[in-house]
Structures are given as C-alpha cells and as structure tokens.
Amino acid sequence: MSTFFTSRLFFISLALVVIAATLPLYVSGYVLGLLTVAFYFGVFAMAWDLLFGFAGEVNFGPTFLIGVGAYTAGILNAQFGWSVYPCIVLGALASVIAGLVLALPALRVRGPYFGLTTLVAVLMLQNFIVVFADLTGGEIGLTIPDVITIDAGANYWIALGFMTISAAILYGLSQSPIGLVLQASGQDPVQAGALGFNIVKHKLAAFIVSAFFSGLSGALLVFYFGTASVGTVVDVAVGVNVIVSAVLGGRRTVLGAALGAIFLIVAGEFLRPTGELATFIVSAVALLVVLFFPGGFLGAALSREARS
C-alpha cells in the first residue's frame, strides 16, 4: 500500500488529475460539459469493476443501482421539494438499500444466474418508472427544478473532484486486505472458504460499496442534467456502456474503468458528425479490444509488469 505513493501509477494519475483540473481555463463549455458526463460515467464503471474484477460477479444491471439513486434524488426534489444535498445523500442510500435487497437473494445463485437476476432488476425498474408516471415522469422523463450550479466550470470541477475521490477510495479498497480477499473469493471461492473467509459477506460488502458509488454518481448526474429519464440512467443500453467502459479500460484495475468511460463518451461525441454510425464505430472498437486485448488498456500494461 505504502509503495503506491511512490509508484509510477500514482504519479501518472496525479499528473492527469492536475492537467484535467486546469482544463476550464482554456477549453470551451461544450468540452467541459462532455467531460463532466464522462467523469460521472467513470464512477459508474469503477464501481462496476469492483464487483466484476474483484468479487468476480458480473452485474448486468449497473443501471439498476444508478437508476434507483438518480430517480430517488430526482423525485424527492421534483415532487417533494427537498433541497439538493439531502436528495443526493438519500439517493445514494436508496441505492444501497436496493442493492442489498437485490444482492441478498441473488448472491445465493451462482455464475450466470447472478447476472440474469441483475438484468431482470433493470427491466423491473424500467417498468416501474413507466407505470408510475405520475410520480416518476414516465417515459417523458422527470424535470428537476434544482441544480447544484449552472456554471460549467464549477460543474466540471465537482465531477472531477467526485471522480478523483471515488477513484482513490475504490482503488484503495481494491488494494486493501478486503480487496485481496475479494479477489481470492472471485478466483477460487472454494479455496477462499477453506482459508476461513465468508465469501457471501465479502461479496455483499462489495455490492454495497458498488451500489453506494453508483447511486451517488447517478444522483449527482441528474442534478447536472436537470432531468432524469429512462434513456439516460436506466436503459439496458446505458448499462452496456458502463460494462464496455470497464472492460475496455481493463478488468481488475479500477482506474482503467474510468479511462474506458472517458474514452467511450469522448469518442462517441467526436464521431457525432458520422450520425447514426457513431455508436456502431465505438462499439466496433470496443468489440475489437475485448476480442484481442481482453485485459483492456490498463490490464495489458499491468499483466506485462506481473510477468516480468
């Protein structure tokens, strides 16, 4: 752990954050807006990697956790007039509770069945939002009266700061004894059990942490967008983007997931002139990386280091 502060990864990350922090001084509001969204996505992807890369559980429904956080915060603000910050905190808490309710039964089933359970949860949430349109805004979406700030630079810094702090916590956790035990449980649950670790307890904890950051990020995102809609925070396609980001960046790296998310969103935007083709091109690149560099951007670098 202590070696991290002298490692190359630390200095590269630090340099990237410092450079990113100075961007509002010389780039347009348009670019800042794009990166703001990308940073929140980065947190989604990192939270997802904690589950997949470390606990070894594929959560096909990251947007269940994100959506519960986002909509709870949005509804409390729009329908009940609560102020922004309590809404954000409660959004994150709601996500943790929803995650717990989902994970408790889901972690009892193994392998692909866990993933299927999480996928069904997303569909149920989506359905709930559409059916209870009075409360949730339904398919049109929920307009949120309050925002944290309207200043593009401030929004950008909030997102960057939030991502940096989340990255530090999630990465730290992944490198801590808990991260080691999680990794051991993900790789060989039988042996981890025989070494005296309660695997369900550890995986549940990972799920709760993942839910907390997903929900918090989702809640912050709706207050940036000023709306909450199925298409931006719940749809299965959004979840697929989160998963692709994490895999692109590199499994079991946490930080790579954030890089992957930023890449995916920025690349999608750059290709906007190609119209409908943009999604296709980004997906094709992602597919190629997954097929030929399954370790992802950061994973390839780290495993080369491991072999030497």
Q: Among 135-143, 168-176, 224-232, 273-281, which window interacts with other proteins (CB under 8 A)?
A: 168-176
Q: Give the binding-site size for other proteins (rule: CB under 8 A).
A: 30
Q: Among 44-52, 129-137, 171-179, 224-232, which window interacts with other proteins (CB under 8 A)?
A: 171-179
HEC readout, 272-290: HHHCCHHHHHHHHHHHHHH
**Residue 303 in contact with other proteins, rule: CB under 8 A:** yes
> CA dist 230 to 54, 65, 103, 207, 222, Å?
29, 13, 22, 23, 11
For tokens 């950061």, the residue is 298
CB of 95 to other proteins, least distance (A): 19
Closest CA to 254 of 202, 221, 205, 209: 209
Of positions 19, 25, 291, 306, contacts other proteins by CB under 8 A: 306
Query: CA 174, CA 204: separation in Å to the nearest integer?
Result: 15
What six digits make up the tokens of 290? 């997954």
Residue 41 makes CB contacts below 8 A (sequence gap 6+) with: 241, 242, 245, 261, 262, 264, 265
Query: CA 47, CA 257: separation in Å to the nearest integer?
Result: 9
**Residue 261 in contact with other proteins, rule: CB under 8 A:** no
CB of 308 to other proteins, least distance (A): 8
Of positions 172, 235, 266, 281, contacts other proteins by CB under 8 A: 172
* Closer residue to other proteins in complex, CB, 218/250: 250
* Closer residue to other proteins in complex, CB, 149/187: 187
**Residue 302 in contact with other proteins, rule: CB under 8 A:** yes
CB of 251 to other proteins, least distance (A): 11
Neighbours of 138 (CB within 10 A): 15
CB of 180 to other proteins, least distance (A): 5
HEC readout, 47-104: HHHHHHHHCCCCCCCHHHHHHHHHHHHHHHHHHHCCCHHHHHHHHHHHHHHHHHHHHH
* Closer residue to other proteins in complex, CB, 139/188: 188
Query: By the 8 A CB rule, do 228 and 70 touch?
Result: yes
Q: 173-202: which residues touch other proteins (CB under 8 A)?
A: 173, 176-178, 180-181, 183-184, 187-188, 190-199, 201-202
Closest CA to 94 of 214, 262, 230: 214
* Closer residue to other proteins in complex, CB, 99/137: 99
Phi–psi pair at 142, nearest 5 degrees: -110, 125
* Closer residue to other proteins in complex, CB, 20/208: 208
CB of 306 to other proteins, least distance (A): 5
CB of 202 to other proteins, least distance (A): 7
CB of 192 to other proteins, least distance (A): 8
CB of 303 to other proteins, least distance (A): 7
Query: By the 8 A CB rule, do 228 and 71 touch?
Result: yes
- Binding residues for other proteins, rule: CB under 8 A, are 1, 172-173, 176-178, 180-181, 183-184, 187-188, 190-199, 201-202, 205, 252, 302-303, 306-307
